[in-house]
């Protein structure tokens, strides 16, 4: 499969590129500026500003799937993820790339009392609103989309992931490597087309279950 990863210069993007390439897919890393450190030699790198539709059309043309892991990278008010999602979805439709994977967050369905009445209004209101905007844009498209909703991301070794259409209790942290593995599995198996799926890392004691 030929896969282009938008936001490939970020931590999750690099993991997605690494795992997809390791599995033998033809991977293109779309980045705004030359990456440092560079990607493995088998990865094609294309420079593209994700806010420029012409750039994106050129970057994703002829690929089988788009994986968009662009995030705002801040809790402050911003529209980076939603703006680039709107452009990427439109560009994919225009150049005939039907398969699309987006990344949101598990917090969109979190209803813990502490989160709803303390953390959300005081800390997470902007990023939560942005995740919801991204999901709305993707859901309204006619693409064969999958929305990935991980819990809080961390740079931890992979332990295997749990994927579910419902947020799992006590699932607080997800390894970026596990999210990238889920993305690769989903592109290969198409188990959650036009669905939003929660993804979290298995706890160590669950690995043998």
Residue 82: pLDDT band with limits 50, 70, 90: very high
Q: How confident is the model at residue 71 (pLDDT cuts 50, 70, 90)?
A: confident
CATH code of the domain in which 14 resides: 3.40.50.720
Return the pLDDT at 106.
74
Domain count, the chain: 1
* pLDDT score recorded for residue 195: 98
Count of beta carbons in the 10 Å neighbourhood of residue 41: 6
Mean of the pLDDT values across residues 20-36? 93
Domain that holds residue 91: 2-206
Look at residue 158 and tell me whether its pLDDT is greater than 90. Answer: yes
pLDDT at 119: 58
Q: What is the DSSP string of 103-141?
A: E--GGGG---HHIIIIIIIIIIHHHHHHHHHHHHHHHHS
User: What pTM value is reported for the model?
Assistant: 0.91
Q: Helix-strand-coil percent breakdown of the chain, rounded to 5? A: 40, 25, 35
pLDDT tens digits for range 84-95: 999 999 999 999
2 or 32: whose pLDDT is higher? Answer: 2
The percent of residues above 90 in pLDDT, for the chain, comes to 70
In this structure, are residues 69 and 103 in contact, taking their beta carbons and an 8 Å threshold? yes
- pLDDT (average), residues 77-100: 94
Amino acid 38: pLDDT: 87
Q: How many other CB atoms are there within 10 angstroms of residue 83's CB atom?
A: 18
In this predicted structure, what is the pLDDT of residue 143?
98
């Amino acid at each position: 499969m030929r896969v282009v990863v938008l936001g490939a210069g970020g931590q999750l993007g690099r993991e997605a590129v690494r795992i997809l390439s390791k599995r033998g897919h033809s991977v293109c890393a779309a980045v705004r500026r030359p990456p440092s450190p560079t990607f493995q030699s088998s990865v094609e790198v294309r420079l593209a500003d994700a806010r420029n539709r012409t750039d994106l059309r050129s970057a994703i043309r002829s690929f089988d799937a788009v994986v968009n892991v662009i995030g705002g990278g801040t809790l402050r008010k911003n529209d980076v993820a939603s703006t680039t999602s709107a452009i990427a979805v439109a560009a994919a439709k225009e150049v005939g790339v039907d398969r699309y994977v987006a990344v949101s967050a598990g917090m969109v369905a979190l209803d813990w009392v502490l989160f709803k009445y303390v953390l959300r209004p005081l800390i997470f209101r902007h990023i939560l609103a942005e995740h919801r905007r991204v999901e709305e844009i993707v859901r309204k498209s006619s693409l064969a989309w999958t929305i990935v909703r991980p819990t809080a991301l961390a740079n931890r070794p992979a332990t295997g992931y749990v994927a579910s259409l419902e947020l799992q209790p006590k699932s607080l942290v997800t390894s970026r490597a596990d999210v990238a593995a889920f993305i690769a599995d989903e592109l290969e198996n198409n188990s959650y087309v036009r669905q939003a799926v929660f993804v979290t890392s298995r706890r160590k004691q669950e690995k043998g279950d």
